Amino acid sequence: MPEVPASATPQESLRGLAVAVFETVDAHPWVGAQLSRAPWESPMLRIFERIGHQLQAMGLSDRAQFTAGSTLMSYIVGVSIQNAANGRMLDPSVDRVEFLNTVSARWKELDANEYPFTRKLAAQLPGHDDLAEFLAGIDLILTGIAASR
């Protein structure tokens, strides 16, 4: 894992760790498979430990650290693995934006009463940035952690 500057806030350090896991799993999908295979083993423990150091620096209680650490761990690893899997579901020759345009068009055609949320957001699907959305999720979790203190 890359080192973060000593001057980084705990939140910046957590974002850096999240990006490192996301990009590593995206570049090397086998890493995601290894992480999900034995979550109590060394690589997962190292990630959990790094998360924990930052949560301690944020001044959370032990109980809050467990909940926040588990939540961050699940989100970081889970979304990273899912994103990598999504990127490899299709043949490499398939254009991502073209594929997402097709999915978006299908979502727009869904029943308006049964899928109002999905239809409303369908137009955002083709142009979304996976890493930006991932980091927005990290920020939501960190905001919730800060609000719970």
Which tens digit of pLDDT belongs to each residue from 128-149? 999 999 999 999 999 999 998 7
pLDDT in tens, 91-109: 888 888 899 999 999 999 9
3-state secondary structure of 126: coil
Give the span between the Cα atoms of 96 and 127, in whole angstroms: 10
Cβ neighbours of 47 (radius 10 Å): 22
Dmax (CA) of the chain: 52
pLDDT for the residue numbered 63: 92
pLDDT for the residue numbered 91: 83
Tokens of 32: 């995601």
pLDDT for the residue numbered 149: 75
Is residue 1 predicted with pLDDT exceeding 60?
no
Q: How confident is the model at residue 88 (pLDDT cuts 50, 70, 90)?
A: confident
Give the span between the Cα atoms of 40 and 34, in whole angstroms: 11
* Amino acid of residue 148: S
- Per the prediction, the chain carries an average pLDDT of 90
Range 39-66 average pLDDT: 90
Name every residue whose Cβ is closer than 8 Å to that of residue 69 and which is 6 or more positions away in sequence: 48, 51, 52, 55
Is residue 2 predicted with pLDDT exceeding 60?
no
120-to-102, 105, 117, 126 alpha-carbon distances in Å: 16, 12, 5, 13
Name every residue whose Cβ is closer than 8 Å to that of residue 149 and which is 6 or more positions away in sequence: 58, 59, 60, 64
pLDDT for the residue numbered 34: 80
